[in-house]
Amino acid sequence: MNILILGYGKMGKIISEIAESRGHSIAAKINIDNKSELDNLDPKTVDVAIEFSQPESAVENIKWAISNGIPIVSGTTGWLNQKPELDKFTISNNGAFFYASNYSIGVNIFFKVNKYLAKLMGEQTDYNVSLEEIHHTEKKDAPSGTAITLAEGIIDQISRIENWKLSDELINNEQSLPIIAKRIDPAPGTHIVRYQSEIDDIEIIHTAHSRKGFALGSVLVAEWIKDKKGVLSMDDFLSF
């Protein structure tokens, strides 16, 4: 396949390396410095786009790909308030748009474990639940998209929790799930879900050792999405 890379930072470079190692070609590598090259790019030479840019660029990048009939795989976080608009845009243009907050296979299994644990803990009112995430200092959005997905899984299963709240410390407020976001180099990503009571604590933890898991997952999805249509997610890809 010919893959267009939209966002050529650290993730974009790893994605490019993995894609080429799997026999794919890179149609172009676009970042903020050479964005004008999109105007001269023939969409017919691109089979799929992989988008890991910045929150302020994601919506424009995704719309450009869909408008030009290019399936797009996006992992940029920090802009999801506009996703319903992009979902409608995708459907109205008969496009293919795949979004995940995290493309790691391990993280997506962790999402399922998180929801199952939350279901078990739903009636255990003696436990306060909190979420902590640790990323490198270059990550601009907080909390991370992965942390938000975990929080949504908990809120979906525990009726007494109504929302999540970014916090510097654990807040004993049953209606709001506290998310503690830390930025420490060179951490690629750690997520901890804690249930704490006077008697004991229960924790589940996922720790990424590098960005390779995220990058490989996005390339695998790009290979899968090529001939598909609609708004898609990791549940579709992994058939959970």
Residues with active-site annotation: 135, 139
User: Rounded to an integer, what distance in angstroms lies between the CA atom of residue 201 and that of residue 67?
Assistant: 50
| Letter string b/e over residues 176-199, b meaning 16 or more CB atoms within 10 A of that residue's CB | ebbbbbeeeeebbbbbbbbbbeee
Residue 143: DSSP 8-state: S
Residue 239: DSSP 8-state: T
Residue with tokens 């030479």: 45
Helix (H, G, I), strand (E, B) or coil at 131: strand
User: Rounded to an integer, what distance in angstroms lies between the CA atom of residue 194 and that of residue 236?
Assistant: 28
3-state helix, strand, coil in the chain (%, to 5): 40, 25, 35
- Are the C-beta atoms of 79 and 59 separated by less than 8 Å? yes
